[in-house]
Amino acid sequence: AQSVTQPDIHITVSEGASLELRCNYSYGATPYLFWYVQSPGQGLQLLLKYFSGDTLVQGIKGFEAEFKRSQSSFNLRKPSVHWSDAAEYFCAVGSDAGNMLTFGGGTRLMVKP
């Protein structure tokens, strides 16, 4: 069975600092990997996804993620965090062409001024 682990429940960074959110997955085949952001009152928004090809994926809002098969990881990064990035971030792995999603527990990002 597939599973996703986000080791960090909470992360606090200063505005302008770099960010890395960790995600480890367990999946038998080539995974379809996603990062979503959830803000209060809004639906989950897709930041980026990896299906195949280049292991460094660029997303929206300046985010990127790197797929590392040897480490079963898909960490999300941003070089300079903005206050508006404060939200809950979810990593997910998908089966069946990415349709059936299993989510990690989420990481709540707080941004200090």
Partner 1 sequence: GAVVSQHPSRVICKSGTSVKIECRSLDFQATTMFWYRQFPKKSLMLMATSNEGSKATYEQGVEKDKFLINHASLTLSTLTVTSAHPEDSSFYICSALAGGQGDEQFFGPGTRLTVL
How far is CA 92 from its chain centroid? 7
Identify whether the C-beta of residue 11 lies closer than 8 Å to the C-beta of residue 2.
no
Give the DSSP letter of residue 99.
T
Site string for partner 1, 24-63 (x = CB under 8 A): ------------x----xxxxxx--x--------------
100 binds partner 1 (CB under 8 A): yes
Q: What is the dihedral of CA 40, 75, 94, 5, to 10 degrees?
A: -80
Q: How far is the CB of 69 from partner 1 (least distance, A)?
A: 21
Give the nearer residue to partner 1 in terms of CB position, either 16 or 105.
105
**Cβ-based neighbours of 87, under 8 Å, separated by 6 or more:** 37, 38, 39, 108, 109
Q: Which stretch binds partner 1 (CB under 8 A): 20-28, 62-70, 76-84, 93-101?
A: 93-101
Residue numbers at the binding site for partner 1 (CB under 8 A) = 9, 36, 41-46, 49, 90, 97-106
